[in-house]
A and B are shown apart, each in its own frame.
Chain A
Amino acid sequence: MSELKKVIMLGNEAIARGAYEAGVKVSAAYPGTPSTEISEYLVQYKDALYCEWSPNEKVAAEVAIGASVAGVRSMCCMKHVGFNVAADPAYTVSYMGVNAGMVFVVADDPGLYSSQNEQDTRMVARAAALPVLEPSDSSEAKEYMKMAFELSERFDRPFILRTTTRLAHSQGLVKLYERTEPSDRPYVKDIRKTVMMPVNAKPRHVEIEKRNRELAEAADTLPVNRVEMKSTDIGIITSGIPYQYVKEALPEASVLKLGMVNPLPRKLIQDFASKVRKLYVVEELEPVIEEQVKSWGIPVTGKEIFTIQGEYSANMLRESILGEKLMIKEPEKAPVRPPVLCPGCPHRSVYHVLNKLKLHAAGDIGCYTLGAVAPLNVVDTTICMGASISSLHGMEKAKGKDYVKNWVAVIGDSTFLHTGVNSLMNMMYNKASGTVIILDNSTTGMTGHQDHAATGKTLQGEPTYAIDIPSLCRALGVKHVTEVNAFDIETLEKVVKEETARDEVSVIITKTSCVLLSKGKKPLYAVHEDKCKKCGMCMKPGCPAMTRNGDGTVHIDDTMCTGCGLCADLCKFGVIELVKEEDR
């Protein structure tokens, strides 16, 4: 295999490169931090492979399974909660095994940088009996991808490549190699392996248990698990990013670095444990390795001294293992800076109206979750993708039609197509009433602007059929579908009042593009600060471009304003005006 060159790559970029070098031919994904960039980097190899945004992770997984059955190497990528959506096919493809290699890339988020929970994919993998590789830097991310495909085919198991936010969003040096494209595997019809009805699934369950045992035995000698013997005073079993913290904090300790975290190499662990005086397991999130090691009667220290929450660090290990007292200065007192809706965000305008009408909102997953906090305070619930519409439905069934006249569901366009559409179908079928507001900003916003089934463009950049969301709602039977410009607050207020008063299902679509989509020079507003009455009306929606001067008058930061004009609409005294081009 000829080596090309050494470059610096984001973990996610390295995964994409690994897939390319491994000869992957089909990839499907739904965006989700911290997994999104894998597909965005993969698309540069579109001459050699096919990649797509699917409407959700279940669909993506099934696309990859189909490709594997057809005989080409395939993958699907998602964040940890997306793997819940894909759980149905994942648990069963585990029984089926593969024709050509298949890999689920699943990204966990210890520390909840951009997620609604901190679940550990290794637990799900154990439940589904799926083997898991876990790299600890960009270089390994690329090589493990290739290894995952080889092992997938050798042991007839779909594999998971598990990453975490820190790995996915760290850059490190990577050696590039040429792509090796294995020839397609012939499809030979064998329903005992591909039709998972009870008569076939029963023997498959026996078969996959056998395969997993073989894999566990092989794991004792696979180079992906390695022992770094140094001082025998302290021995550490670790994997993934925590391995780096161990190397940093305890350079003299002996380390068993696990590249495969399911199934575990029992003999290798027993052997390592017998050689060191004090044994620790250092793993972020759940005690997945630790509990198995303990179940084998090996004394080991783990979550007794380490947390199951958040990310680890070298300093944390210095304190907890070495008992070092670190001389660290106290941080200065500084007001927190939580994430906020961008200046010019169309969601702010909608939330301003909902706030004014004192409505509650069943929320969903996206930038608009930020409408839960002050000063907008609109969103009451955020659970998972699509839950806004179905939970509103549940409220109506619990408390009646009048109760939900004080509520709306808010959901983004991409989230609506992901799973929200099922929930709307349910409202129509089960004679619901209630108002759904689809905040259509023509993109998947929070994850950094990915196309979806209604944008008219594929991941590979080709123009395509764009699903018309209003028509889709009407096709489901919704009689009242209204489109409003998010910044037309007068009309929006009128429409929201009318629609929430109904005893039927209604959908309001606030169609205004994400402000970050247009890259050109934007209009700019300014306050005539000498005439400002300091009433604070314009500050109510909480635009981050607006601040108070020392004397209480309002100032607009000209480097942040995007010219949406919401503040000018709200100013009763007309002292906020568009800045003329010649005055800029």
Chain B
Amino acid sequence: MSTTTSRANATEDDGTPASRPTPKPVAVERRTRSTGWLFVLPFALAFGLFMVWPIVQGLWMSFTDESLTLNGTDFVGFDNYAEAFGDPDVWSSLGNTVFFTVITVVPLVVVALGMALLVHSGLAGQWVWRLAYFAPYLLPVTVVTLIWQWLYQPDLGMANQLLDTLGMEPIGWLSDEKFAMWSIAALTVWWTVGFNFLLYLAALQSIPDQLYEAAALDGAGAWRRLFSVTLPQLSRTTALVGMLQVLASLKVFDQIFILTKGGPNNSTRPILEYIYDVGFTGYRLGYASAISYLFFALIIIISIAQLRFFPRQEG
């Protein structure tokens, strides 16, 4: 650090020379106190403008009858919230979101763990497996939906051609209420499992070899090592992956919005799609905001519950 003559100094030095005579800790304290806020300033500005302000604005809107069609906005108190609690569409779409979350979280965690264990077991061709499992995660949602729309295409798509070859009746993968949500869940698992897979793979690589060697010396076989070393070492990762996945699945929207718009017969409409419909199609921004905030509250409650459930060890 002998060369201190860069533009860094030009912007930072406020005329106070590095106070040598002062005892070290005090000097450091004082300097950070005077400049620390400059470091956070750009982020704080953007954060305020594009995060805090919209949140506050949206919260305010939820207490009004703001609409895309009406001019003039009135304060309506808790009317929107009261309406939301009595709105059967809120409950049914919330039910769809929860259903989607239930059927995707388990496979997204278990399959990711299985893939990571398999890839980590040292068999040849690592990069092929990693690529195969992770590649879908790199696709934008519209690419995923284009591909799967084609796979699910009723007459010519791969899925029904396969059923046909097996001598079975074709299925309306996205058009039949019984199957649509499952079809979307399958697509979602295929698309996003790669991220969890990577988290597990990284965690596996950070387990020290000595643990396995010690276990092997103690005479632990492969299964024993898996259950007594590997899985316990992964418990923090599993808690993290599970938590992130629950939150991600609750926020499902894009792929459904593109593929089915919530249909058929609203059977795949998640709560976020309903909010979008109310706000952008029904023009009721105030009401849409109120539902968003109720949903946000639910997410916070779930997060807190999860944090309690998996006590966090500071690492």
Q: Do A and B bind each other?
A: no
Q: Which residues of A contact B (CB under 8 A)?
A: none
Q: Which residues of B contact A (CB under 8 A)?
A: none
